[in-house]
Amino acid sequence: MNTKTVRHMYVTAAVAVAFASITSCNGSGGEQDSKQDRGAGVVKVDPIAALRSVQAKTKGADSARVEGTTVMGDAMSMKQSGAIAWTDGLTGTIEITYTGGTMADSLKQAGVNGPIEARYFKEGYVVNMGAATAQQSGGKHWISYDYDDLAEVAGAAGEVMKDQLQNTTPDQGVKSLLASGDVKKVGREDVRGVTATHYSGTVDVAELSAKNSSLDADQLAQLKKQLSDAGITTEKVDIWVDDNDLLVKKVERGQMKTGEFNSTVFYSDYGTKVSAERPAASDTVDFRELMQKGTS
C-alpha cells in the first residue's frame, strides 16, 4: 500500500469517527420495519407529552456514559464507548474499535489493529490511531479536525454534520420522534436490568435535517441529492426511557445502497464527570495537511 493511499485511508477512517459521535447522540439511516410494531403488542396512545418531558430531562442531565455499536453496510462496523457532555457543544472522549467491513480490513493492512481514541471539543475533535499513524505523519500520533473544514470538504452533508456535532445532545433521538408525527408507545421492557418504556417511530431524514440546520435552498437541494445518491430516505428510531424520564437506549435502523445502517447506543451514569484533554501540539497534525500530502 503506497504512502498516498495510506494517508488518504487514515483521513477517511478518522472522518468516520465523527459519525461515531453523531450516532451516540443522533444519526441518520433508512427505513426498516420492526416486528414489534406490527402486532397486538403495540400500545397506540398519545406519547407526545411524555416525550417532551424526556427531552427536557435528558438534555438537562449535562453528561452521560455511552456504549454502542454501529454498522454501515459492508463499509464498516464499529463499537464505541466513553463519556460525553453537552452543556456547551459536544465534548468528551470515546474509544472506537472497527470490528468489520472494508474499513477495518484496510486499517489492519496499514498496521492499525487496536482501538482508536477520539476526543471531542466545541470546535472540532482529535483522533489517535496509534503508531501506524505516526509513521505517515512525521511522528505525530494525533490527527485534528476542525468542523468548519469538514463542512467545506463534505458540502451540504458536512454542514449538517457540523451542526449536529456542535449542538447535539442525546435527546436528539427524542426530538426526532416528536418531529416524525409517527410515534407509538410500544410498552414496558427490560434494558440491562432497568425497566423502561419503549417508543418507536419513523423519521424522514432530509426533512428532519432541514429543520435542524441552517441550510439555504441550494445547500438543502444538495443535501437531498447526497442522501438520495446514498439511498437514504427515512430511518426507524426506537428509544427506551427509564422511570426518571432519562434515555437509556436508542436504536436507529435503515437501509443504504451499500447495505444496512444500524446504530445501537446505551446511556448510563447521567451527570458523570467528563474530561477531554488536548494532546500536545507537537504530537498533532491537521487533517488538511494529510489531505494535501495524500494528493501530492
In tens digits, what is the pLDDT along the chain, a chain of 296 residues? 555 555 556 656 666 666 565 565 654 333 333 333 333 344 334 577 888 888 889 888 999 999 999 888 888 888 999 999 988 888 999 999 989 988 888 888 877 777 889 999 988 899 998 887 787 778 899 989 888 887 776 665 566 667 666 666 788 778 777 777 778 899 999 999 999 999 998 876 655 554 544 545 565 555 555 555 555 566 788 999 999 999 999 998 887 776 788 889 999 999 999 989 999 999 999 988 877 765 44
Given this model, what pLDDT does residue 95 score?
A: 93
Domain boundaries, position 65: 3-294
249-to-56, 83, 110, 136, 172 alpha-carbon distances in Å: 16, 15, 34, 38, 13
pLDDT at 39: 38
Of 66, 52, 119, the residue nearest 263 (C-alpha): 66
| pLDDT of res. 10 | 60
Measure the CA–CA gap between 174 and 201, rounded to whole angstroms: 10
- Please, what sign has the CA dihedral across residues 266, 271, 275, 276? positive
User: Around Cβ 211, how many Cβ atoms within 10 Å?
Assistant: 11
DSSP 8-class letter at 123: S
CA distance 156 to 163: 11
Stretch (H or E) spanning 139: none
The CATH number given to whatever domain includes residue 24 is 2.50.20.20
Determine the pLDDT at residue 260.
Answer: 81
- Which residues lie below 8 Å from residue 55, measured CB to CB, with a gap of 6+? 171, 174, 175, 178
DSSP state letter for 26: -
CA distances in angstroms from 202 to 26, 101, 249, 257, 275, listed in the order given: 14, 27, 17, 19, 34
Domain count, the chain: 1
Is the CB of residue 94 less than 8 Å from the CB of residue 20? yes
CA-CA distance, 278 to 85, in Å (whole number)?
16
Closest CA to 277 of 92, 111, 60: 92
